[in-house]
Structure 1
Amino acid sequence: MQKWKINLIVLWFGQFMVMSGMTMIVPFMSLYLQELGVTDPHQVSIWAGVIFAGTFVTSFIFQPIWGRLADRYGRKMMLLRSGIGMAIVMTLMGFVATPWHLLLLRVLNGTISGFVPAATALISTTTPKEKMGYAMGTLQSGVLAGSILGPFIGGLAADWFGFRPLFYVTGALIFLASMLAFFLVTDRFDPAEAARKPSISVMKGLDQLRRIPQLPSLFTVTFLIQFSIISSMPLLPLFVQQIHNGTEYLAFFAGLVGSVTGFSNMIASPLLGRYGDKLGAERILRISLIGAGLSFIPQAMVTNIWQLLAARFLLGIFLGGLLPTVNSLIRLHTPDGMESRAFSFNTSSLSLGNMLGPIVGGVLSGWITIRGIFVVAALLLLLNAVWVKRTLFARKSVGH
């Protein structure tokens, strides 16, 4: 088997394990806090929100730092650093005695994270250019599969084995994924060539990348995509409760609505990546942005759960052409030797969208309801499509 295909398979598994490990805690976060001695419902809600956000805050800050080191010392080294570090931190979460311990470990987890951007950069430098869209789409499907199945596996396993053993198993699986990467993944990184290049700071690296006109546009697109999509996510269970007749199977339908988008996204990502290789990544990105924006409009008008499921499934199909295509375009426009840095800045944009989306969506929902949030998301994505046409298509001829 060709080396780039082996890399893709191993890193798909690694992405799946890392993302499922990071999301497994979501279904039972509040219950775990109660086991740690927090009994007041209001305090549980506050702790759960702070602990959940802690990872994204430190990830936003530290991703560019790890990206700089990856360009300097190798992407595979950053993969192993992040994977082994997260395996240790995840295992330690099973030993915590207070909410403060859990918060500190989640913050530390965000600090040492970087598996996803390092894997993306490594795939981008080892995959043939004509297969780049397919590889990025396939890699993204691993992230999505982990994000979808992580909460499901976590909730199921917590019922069977309890909370603490789940952290030990998750840590062991992430360590296994890191060892597979150590033995099977091949990196084209040349340490001697990297050493000959001048060492530049994170801010100077950002300044260099900023001068490439397509990259700031792509970072902005990533932020707006994530902000638009995530702003309504915390409100979906309440919306399901509003439109679902009766209380029977309410939790099941709330979970199904949350996951159906991920399933269609996971299926569509490799297919749209393949079309991007043939038709051009810019075109697929613009079509996907328009399709995703239009898919939000019927969600604002649904009257029953089945209509909402259909609209969310359609949304997931178009979402499959967004982030993988953005990653392909970032690689296309990034100078050799700065790939990890570029993907790390893009991951910071993603983390910023993850942080601000739920906050802004929650505030706005008090005035315009969740139906209004769907309309706002549609407008943002459609305006994003116009932004892509003005910045990427107009500057497509601009060289590095």
Structure 2
Amino acid sequence: MARWKINLIVLWIGQFLVMSGMTMITPFLPLYIQDLGVHDAHQVAMWSGIIFAGNFVTSFLFQPLWGGLSDRYGRKVMLLRSGFGMAIVMTLMGFATSPWQLLALRIVNGVISGFMPAAVALMSTNTPKERIGFALGTLQSGGVAGSILGPFIGGLLAEWVGFRPIFYITGPLLFCASLLALFLIKENFDAAAAKKKPAISTMEGFKELKKTKQLPALYAVTFVIQFSMLSSMTLVPLFVQELHGNGSMLAFYAGLVSSITGFSNMIASPLLGRLSDRIGSVKILAICLVGAAVSFVPQALVTNIWQLFAARFMLGVFMGGMLPSVQTLISKFAPKGMESRAYSFNTSATSLGNMLGPIVGGVLSGWIHIQGLFIMAAVFLFANAIWVRKALFPGRSGTEENAGGTG
């Protein structure tokens, strides 16, 4: 088997385990906080929000630092640092005896995280150019599969073995995935040449990357995707209740509508990644941005559960083409030797969208309701499509085939 394919398989498993481990806590987090001695409903809700967000805050701040070190010392090193580190921290969460301890561990987890950007950077720099779209699309499907199945697996395990053993299971699984990466992943990286380059700070790195005007537009795509999805995510079950009523199967329909976007995303990512290798990532990104914007509009107009189901399925299809296209284009436009740093800022954009989306959505929902949030998401995606059009299609010299300064 070709080396890049072995890397892809191992990293897919790693992506799946990391994302499932990160999201496995979601269904029982409030219950675990109660188990830690907090029983007031308002206090439980407050602690749940703070603990859940703590990981994203530090991830947003520290990803560019790890990206710079990755470009200097290698992507595999950063991959192993993150994987083994998260395995230890995840296991320790099972020993927490207070919400403060759990919050501290979530913050530490965000600090040492970075498995996904390191995996993307490694794949993009160690895969034949004609197969990058397919490789990154497939890698994306692993993360999406983990984020879909993580809450489901976490809920089942909570029923079967209790809360704390879940952490004792997840930590060793992440450790095993890191061992696989240690022994099976091979990276072509010229450490001597990388160390000869002058070390630059995070801000200097950002200023250098900002000179390539395509990169800020691509970061904006990542932010808008996460912001648009999460601004209404927590309100979807209530919207399902509004459409379906309080009859039987409400919880099932709410879960189905919430997860269908992820399932269609997981299916579409490798297919659209393969198509982008044929017709170009810029075209796929442009089509998917407009398609996702259009898919949000009918969600504001639906009158029954199945219409919402269909609209969110189509949204997932277009979402499945956006992130792999962004990752492929970052590899094309990033200055040589700064690929990992470029991906790390993209991960920071993801974390920022994850933080601000639920907050802004929760605040605005009182005035514009979830239907207004759907329209807002459509407007943001259309505006982002225009920005991408201007940044990536300025003329023949600006197309991805003629992108200068690429890695």
1:55-94 mapped onto 2 (5 Å cutoff): 55-94=55-94
Residue in 2 that maps onto 1:352: 352
- SS of the equivalent of 2:321 reads coil
Q: 1:245 deviation in Å? A: 3.0
Residue in 2 that maps onto 1:342: 342
- SS of the equivalent of 1:212 reads coil
Distance 2:277 2:15 in 1: 22
- SS of the equivalent of 1:130 reads helix
Distance 1:336 1:183 in 2: 27
- Could you tell which deviates more after superposition, 24-33 or 189-198? 189-198
Residue in 1 that maps onto 2:128: 128
Q: Do 2:60 and 2:347's aligned partners in 1 also have CA atoms closer than 8 Å? A: yes
Distance 1:268 1:371 in 2: 26
Q: Do 2:297 and 2:374's aligned partners in 1 also have CA atoms closer than 8 Å? A: yes
Q: Which amino acid aligns with 1:344?
A: S
Distance 1:354 1:265 in 2: 18
Question: What is the CA RMSD across the aligned residues, in angstroms?
Answer: 0.9
Q: Do 2:333 and 2:403's aligned partners in 1 also have CA atoms closer than 8 Å? A: no
Distance 1:109 1:246 in 2: 39
- Could you tell which deviates more after superposition, 218-227 or 87-96? 218-227
TM-score (ref. length: structure 2): 0.97
1:352-391 mapped onto 2 (5 Å cutoff): 352-391=352-391
Residue in 1 that maps onto 2:206: 206
Is residue 100 of structure 1 aligned with residue 105 of structure 2? Answer: no
Residue in 2 that maps onto 1:215: 215
Distance 2:403 2:265 in 1: 32
- SS of the equivalent of 1:38 reads coil
Post-superposition CA distance 1:28-81 (Å, at most 9, x none): 001001111110011000000000000000000000000011111111000000
Q: Which amino acid aligns with 1:304?
A: N
- The runs of at least 4 aligned residues of structure 1 exceeding 3 Å deviation read none
- SS of the equivalent of 2:219 reads helix
Q: 1:246 deviation in Å? A: 2.9
Q: 1:251 deviation in Å? A: 1.5
Distance 1:141 1:398 in 2: 27
Distance 1:21 1:130 in 2: 32
Distance 1:245 1:203 in 2: 51
Distance 2:403 2:158 in 1: 53
Is residue 399 of structure 1 aligned with residue 400 of structure 2? Answer: no
Q: Which amino acid aligns with 2:32?
A: Y
Q: Which amino acid aligns with 1:212?
A: T
Q: Which amino acid aligns with 1:118?
A: A
Residue in 2 that maps onto 1:49: 49
Q: Which amino acid aligns with 1:151?
A: P
Distance 1:253 1:289 in 2: 27
Residue in 1 that maps onto 2:174: 174
Distance 1:95 1:333 in 2: 44
Distance 1:380 1:336 in 2: 31
Q: Do 2:332 and 2:403's aligned partners in 1 also have CA atoms closer than 8 Å? A: no
- SS of the equivalent of 2:234 reads helix
TM-score (ref. length: structure 1): 0.99
Distance 1:252 1:161 in 2: 23
Q: Which amino acid aligns with 2:207?
A: D
Is residue 261 of structure 1 aligned with residue 280 of structure 2? Answer: no
Distance 2:364 2:159 in 1: 36
Q: 1:255 deviation in Å? A: 1.1
Distance 2:171 2:404 in 1: 44
Q: 1:398 deviation in Å? A: 5.4
- SS of the equivalent of 2:94 reads helix
Distance 1:193 1:230 in 2: 41
1:179-258 mapped onto 2 (5 Å cutoff): 179-258=179-258
- SS of the equivalent of 2:392 reads helix
- SS of the equivalent of 2:120 reads helix
Distance 1:37 1:247 in 2: 34
Post-superposition CA distance 1:101-160 (Å, at most 9, x none): 100000000000000000000000000000011011000001100000000000001100
Residue in 2 that maps onto 1:154: 154
Distance 1:371 1:215 in 2: 31
Q: Which amino acid aligns with 2:182?
A: F
Q: How many residues of Structure 1 are paired with residues of Structure 2 in the alignment?
A: 400
- Could you tell which deviates more after superposition, 365-374 or 381-390? 381-390
Structure 1 residues not aligned, in runs of 5+? none
Distance 1:317 1:221 in 2: 16
Distance 2:166 2:225 in 1: 32
Distance 2:278 2:197 in 1: 35
Is residue 328 of structure 1 aligned with residue 333 of structure 2? Answer: no
Post-superposition CA distance 1:317-366 (Å, at most 9, x none): 11111111000000000122111100000000111111111111111111
Q: Which amino acid aligns with 1:152?
A: F
